[in-house]
Amino acid sequence: MNQFETLYQKAISDSTFLDLLATDTASALQSIGIDPTPEIVSSVQTVLSSIVALNNELAPPNITSAAAPFVS
């Protein structure tokens, strides 16, 4: 499994990790063996922001967690 697959699988299967990814991206990436370069951290934060924005448009307004788009 490559690093992207590792990140994706962890994000969709572990809401605690996803919340950490949203609040402390560098630490979350390090915890799964990804070197959190500024470019990677920025890219992950951009993707998360886009997912949360899309979720806010499509989901009921009472969902607030960063993990909300991935877990039910």
Asked, for residue 70, whether it belongs to a domain, the answer is no
Q: How far apart are CA 41 and CA 61, in angstroms?
A: 27
Q: Domain total for the chain?
A: 1
Asked, for residue 13, whether it belongs to a domain, the answer is yes
- Find the domain containing 54 and state its range: 3-58
pLDDT in tens, the chain (72 residues): 899 999 999 999 998 999 999 999 999 999 999 999 999 999 999 999 998 888 888 877 665 555 555 554
Crossing angle between the packed helical segments 3-13 and 15-23, to the nearest 10 degrees: 110
Closest CA to 45 of 62, 37, 31: 37
Asked, for residue 21, whether it belongs to a domain, the answer is yes
Asked, for residue 65, whether it belongs to a domain, the answer is no
Asked, for residue 69, whether it belongs to a domain, the answer is no
Closest CA to 63 of 7, 19, 21: 19
- Residue with token string 């920025």: 42
pTM for the complete prediction? 0.75
